[in-house]
Amino acid sequence: MNRHAEDLQTQRIAYWGGAYLESTRESYRRAEEFFREGDAFTAYLNLFVAFNNLYCLIARFDGHERAKIRAALKNVPAEEIDRFYTSDYVDLINSLNDGPTEQFVEGPDAGARIQGIVNMQTYFLGKRPSDCVAHIREVAPGWASSDDKRNTLQEVAASLLYTVRNNQFHAVKGPHRLADQYTLESAYRLLLPLVGALLPMAERTVRSAVRSEVTQ
């Protein structure tokens, strides 16, 4: 990115950043409200809207979606990660990563067996069901280093949670239960502390852009 583009990028973040943060806080609030009411689908949708705003601001809107997610989570403070990355949190990750085996009972893939979260956007591009599963190879345990935990969180968000989000738009409510209540509840609980960790980071990003514009 050249200097002119960087300057324009900063100007736009300074101008629109406040609106992004306002939208984020409202989506965050609505997510918690819908979750309390038992509507995990709408809760997760609102929470991901907040997450999307935050990682875009922190990554300064630069790169593809999954790259921006990884870039934003790269700078989460170690003490914040250690606060919520517990054995219970690891269990939630594993519940999505190694979910119960599902079987296609009818249609062109009848008999196929899959385990985990299927990326339906990829599935409809003609790949085999087994090649459409979002899966993390290594999940850091609760006692791992902060860096290992951060690496896992980057993959959880960019792979599992992003796929759950996509499936809310692309999923077929069929025999493999791609958007069932348990999956959405687990994904919500995994995403919630990430949004909480990124919010102050995004606020600092906007303040920095505003200060930069004021001093010019």
What pLDDT is recorded for position 212? 84
Domain boundaries, position 196: 3-215
* Number of C-beta neighbours around residue 154 at 10 A: 19
Whether 1 has a pLDDT exceeding 70, the answer reads no
- Across the chain, mean pLDDT equals 88
Q: Does residue 82 contact residue 146 with C-beta atoms inside 8 Å? A: yes
Q: Is the pTM above the cut of 0.85?
A: yes
Greater confidence (125 vs 172) lies with: 125
Greater confidence (163 vs 180) lies with: 163
List pLDDT tens digits, range 36-50. Answer: 999 998 999 999 999
Q: What are residue 122's DSSP bridge partners?
A: none
For the chain, give the longest Cα–Cα distance.
64
Which whole number is the average pLDDT over 115-132? Answer: 83
Whether 82 has a pLDDT exceeding 70, the answer reads yes
What pLDDT is recorded for position 41? 87
Q: How far is CA 92 from CA 84, 168, 184, in A?
A: 12, 19, 11
Torsion of CA 102, 105, 111, 114, to 10 degrees: -20
Q: Tell me the C-alpha distance between 192 and 31, whole Å.
A: 9
What pLDDT is recorded for position 172? 55
What pLDDT is recorded for position 131? 87
Torsion of CA 203, 34, 96, 200, to 10 degrees: 10
List pLDDT tens digits, range 129-159. Answer: 888 888 898 999 999 999 999 999 999 999 9
List pLDDT tens digits, range 39-79. Answer: 998 999 999 999 999 999 998 888 899 999 999 999 999 99
Whether 213 has a pLDDT exceeding 80, the answer reads no
Q: Range with the lowest mean pLDDT among 88-92, 152-156, 171-175?
A: 171-175
What total of structural domains would you count in the chain? 1
